[in-house]
Structure 1
Amino acid sequence: MFHKLIATAAWACLVFIAYATLSPIQARPKISSPDLEHIVAFAVTGLLFCLAYPRQIVRVCLIVVGSAVLLEYLQTLTPDRHGTLLDASEKVFGGALGIFAARASLYFSHRKRSPQSQS
């Protein structure tokens, strides 16, 4: 049940990011500086996807990094928004940071649970 909740949260987070990225500039939610928003939003998304699909790291990377690049490109097709390479790189960095944090967390929690042999 917990796994499904995390997966649902990951997809919901990605849908919200798509809405915020592609909506008209007036409808865009603003929390703090845009640079920090990009990094944090994709870090949370990367973390959730990695926790939801821990054995599918390649797929997780493709979804998180691919959506960052694709959404930034799609912004260039909207009349009142503009996609930039800097924004895309911030999103990719945030996604990679979230994936790395989840992988580290999973590694250390697995290591803690594993019986260690005393030599």
Structure 2
Amino acid sequence: MNTRIVELETLLRFAAWGCLAVIAFATLSPIGLRPTTGLSPSIERFVAFALVGALFASAYSRYILFAAAVVIGAAVLFELLQVLEPSRHGRLFDASVKLAGGTAGLAVGSIVGRWLRRG
């Protein structure tokens, strides 16, 4: 494999795990520490998980099932773990928005990952 592609995959992997860590903090921290953009929380959730899905699918393009398990698993797990934080709540609707965003991101990232491997 081309050295440049390996370097890009490594960078994408760092970005994917870093993005997931930021989402975990934003999702599981007390509500007062949650960063906001001014957009609807549903849009924020969708975009955050679309981004992490695209990063994981691009970074792990040869292991798309692994990428999907991480993204989908994180969406469900983060909602379940919100029950442990008194100022937060886990809701089925929020989980479904995260799942939709993650799935859309995985689809886009999969296409990008295939394109990168061809290059």
Q: Under TM normalisation by the shorter chain, which class is it?
A: 0.7 to 0.9
Larger radius of gyration: 1
Q: How far apart in 1 are the matches of 2:63 and 2:36? A: 32
Alignment match of 1:17 (pick from 13, 23, 27): 23
Q: Deviations over 1:5-30 (max 9, x none)?
A: 11000000000000000111111000
Moved over 3 A (4+): none
Q: Deviations over 1:56-94 (max 9, x none)?
A: 111111100000000000001111100100000000100
Query: Offset at 1:104?
Result: 2.6
SS in 1 for 2:85: coil
Aligned pairs for 1:1-119 within 5 A = 1-31=7-37, 32-107=39-114, 109=115
Q: How far apart in 1 are the matches of 2:113 and 2:75? A: 24
Structure 1, unaligned runs of 5 or more = 114-119
TM-score, normalised by the number of residues in structure 2: 0.88
TM-score, normalised by the number of residues in structure 1: 0.88
The letter of the residue matching 2:57 is C
Q: How far apart in 1 are the matches of 2:12 and 2:113? A: 14
Query: Offset at 1:103?
Result: 1.8
Identity %: 46
The letter of the residue matching 2:19 is C
